[in-house]
Amino acid sequence: LAILGMFALVRAAGGGRWSAVGAAGLMACDNLLLVHGRIGTLDIYAVAGMIWGVALYLRGWWVAAGVTLAAADCLKEVAPYALIVLGLVELARWFVARRDPDPPVDWHWRPGLTRLAATAFVSIGLFVGLLGLMGVIAKPYADSEASLITGGPFDHLWHMVSYAANLTSPHGPQGIASYPWQWLVDLKPITYLRINPSLPGQGLYAIHPVSAFLGVVSPPILLLAIPGVLFGIYRSGSRRRAVASTGAPVRTLGDVQLAILGAAWFVGTWLPYELQSAVDSRTSYLYYMVVVMPGIYVAVTYLISIGWRRRQKWLRMGIGLWAVSVVVAVVLMYPFVAAF
C-alpha cells in the first residue's frame, strides 16, 4: 500500500508518470522500508496512511484526507506529523503565489488555510473518536503502572504523550538508540538478526553465507537525500521565469509543487525528532526514519528528473549508474535467500 501510495502521491503533486514510478521504485528498493515492512514495526503502517492522506489532500479531497490521517494516527502517534507537512506545503504555496507570474487561485493564503483547518479538524476529531471506540473494544493498559486506562480517549492520549516524554537519554543514546542527525549518514544501523553458518541456531543450518537483517537506509538513496532536499528548497523559492515569446513560465507548477512536497515532508517529519532530541534529549532510533523517507524519495526523484531532462550524455550516464547502484544495494543488503 505504501509503495502504491508513493506513486499516487507524486502524481497528486503534479509529477509525471516516470517520476511517480521512480519514487515508488526507490521505496521498493530501500532496505530500511523492506526490513521494517517485513518485521512489521508500527511506523510502516503509519507511513502508509500518511502517504495516502497527503496524496488525497493534494487531490483536493480534504475530508478523505482527514479520515485517512485519523486512521494513521491510531497506528502510531507520529502520523500527525503529516499535518505539519501539509502546513509547510500551504506555506510554500502561499510564498510561491506572491511571486509567481500566474499562480493558481487556491494557492493563496485564505483557501490554503481553510482546507488545512478543515483537514486538521476532521483528522483530530475522528482520531479522538476512534481512540475512544478502541478503548471500548479493548481497554488500554498502562504497563508501567500495571493498571487499565479507564478515563476515556483523552486519558489514553495523555498516557501516550507522558510515556513518550519520559523516554529520554540525557547522557546520549545508548544501545541501538541514535541521534536524528546520525540517521542522515547511516552512522548507527540496527542489527535485527544475524545468522552465522559457523554458529547456527536451531533450524538455521543451511544458511550460507552469513546473513544480516539490518535496519539501515540504502546508501545510494541517502547519498542524494540532502542534496535533493536542498535543491527542492531552492527550486521552491526561486521565481519562475516566463518565456518572452509566449509568456508561459519555464517550470510547470507541477515541478514547483513536487519540489515543495519533498522538502516539506522531510522538514516536517525529521525536524520534530531533531528538536525533541536537542531540547529534551528524547530517545530516538534509526527506524523512526521510516516516516521521513517518503520526502527523501520525492526529493531525490525530483533531483534526478531535473538532471535527466538536461539531456547531457555524461549526466544521464551518471544517473544510470546511480540507478544501478540502488538495485545492487538492495540485493546485497537484504537477505532475500535467507528470508525465505
Per-residue pLDDT of 156-184, as tens digits, reads 778 778 777 778 888 888 888 888 898 88
Q: pLDDT higher for 199 or 70?
A: 70
Residue 238 lies in a domain: yes
Indicate the number of domains in the chain: 1
Residue 340 lies in a domain: no
Q: pLDDT higher for 24 or 153?
A: 24
Residue 339 lies in a domain: no
pLDDT of res. 250: 46
pLDDT of res. 208: 55
Residue 337, pLDDT > 70, answer no
Residue 261 lies in a domain: yes
pLDDT of res. 242: 42
Residue 209 lies in a domain: yes
Looking at 49-58, 195-204, 316-325, which range is the least confident one?
195-204
Residue 147 lies in a domain: yes
Query: What percent of the chain lies above the pLDDT cut of 70?
Result: 88
Residue 76 lies in a domain: yes
3-state per-residue secondary structure call for the chain:
CHHHHHHHHHHHCCCCHHHHHHHHHHHHCCHHHHHHHHHCCHHHHHHHHHHHHHHHHHCCCHHHHHHHHHHHHHHCCCCCHHHHHHHHHHHHHHHHHHHCCCCCHHHCHHHHHHHHHHHHHHHHHHHHHHHHHHHHHCCCEECCCCEECCCCHHHHHHHHHHHHHCCECCCCCCCCECCHHHHCCCCCCEEEEEECCCCCCCCCCCCCCCEEEEECCCHHHHHCHHHHHHHHHHHHHCCCCECCCCCCECCCHHHHHHHHHHHHHHHHHHHHHHHHHHHHCECCEHHHHHHCHHHHHHHHHHHHHHHHHCCCHHHHHHHHHHHHHHHHHHHHHCCHHHHC
Residue 59, pLDDT > 80, answer yes
Residue 244, pLDDT > 70, answer no
